[in-house]
Amino acid sequence: MPSPAVVVGVDSSTQSTKAAFIDAATGEQLAVGRSPHVVTGEAGARESDPEIWWRALGEAVAAGLSASGLPARAVTGIAVAGQQHGLVVLDGTGRPLRTALLWNDTRSAPQAAALTEALGGPGAWTARTGSVPVAAITASKWQWLREKDPASAAAAAAVRLPHDFLTERLAGVAATDPGDASGSGWYSTATGAYDPVLLDLLGLDAALLPAVAPTGATRIGSLTAAAASALGLPPGIAVAAGTGDNMSAAVGLGLGGAGLLDHPALSLGTSGTVFAASRTRPGSTALSGFAAADGTYLPLACTLNCTLAVDKVASLLGLDREDATPGGEAVLLPYLDGERTPDLPTASGLLTGLRHDTTPHRLLGAAYEGAAVTVLRALDELSRACGLDPDAPEIAARPLRLIGGGARGRMWVETVRRLSGRPLVLPGSEELVALGAAALAASAAGGGDPVALSASWAERAPGRHIDPVERDTETWQRVTSVLDRASRPLLGG
| Percent of the chain topping pLDDT 70 | 97
Q: Say if residues 16 and 52 touch (Cβ distance below 8 Å).
A: no
Q: Say if residues 237 and 442 touch (Cβ distance below 8 Å).
A: no
pLDDT band of 121, cuts 50, 70, 90: very high
Q: Furthest-apart CA pair in the chain: how many Å?
A: 69
Which residue(s) pair with 301 in the sheet?
274
pLDDT band of 26, cuts 50, 70, 90: very high
The answer, yes or no, to whether residue 165 has pLDDT greater than 60, is yes
E strand map for 353-478:
400-403, 424-426, 464-466
Which is it for strands 297-303 and 272-275: parallel, antiparallel or unpaired?
antiparallel
Averaged pLDDT score across all residues of the chain: 93
Considering the segment(s) 254-426+463-493 as one domain, its CATH architecture is 2-Layer Sandwich (3.30)
As annotated, the active-site residues are 245
Q: Hey, how many other C-beta atoms are within 10 angstroms of the C-beta on 15? A: 14
Which residue(s) pair with 212 in the sheet?
176
- Which of 103, 95, 199, 223 shows the shortest CA–CA distance to 146? 199
- Which of 11, 64, 10 shows the shortest CA–CA distance to 33? 64
The answer, yes or no, to whether residue 491 has pLDDT greater than 50, is no
Q: What is the distance of C-alpha 252 from the center of its chain?
A: 13
- Which of 122, 136, 121 shows the shortest CA–CA distance to 284? 122
Per residue in 294-305, pLDDT tens?
988 999 998 989
Fold match between 6-246 and 254-426+463-493?
A: yes
Using CA of residue 8, residue 9, residue 12, residue 13, what is the dihedral sign? negative
The answer, yes or no, to whether residue 338 has pLDDT greater than 80, is yes
Cα–Cα distance for residue pair 238/218, rounded to 1 Å: 10
pLDDT band of 463, cuts 50, 70, 90: confident
The answer, yes or no, to whether residue 259 has pLDDT greater than 60, is no
Which of 53-62, 76-85, 125-134, 336-345 comes out lowest in average pLDDT?
Answer: 336-345
Cα–Cα distance for residue pair 281/48, rounded to 1 Å: 33
Cα–Cα distance for residue pair 23/45, rounded to 1 Å: 40
pLDDT band of 262, cuts 50, 70, 90: low
Determine the angle formed by the axes of helices 410-420 and 473-490, rounding to 10 degrees. Answer: 90
What are the structural domain ranges in the chain?
6-246, 254-426+463-493
Per residue in 41-71, pLDDT tens?
998 999 999 999 999 999 999 999 999 999 9
Spell out the CATH class of 6-246: alpha beta
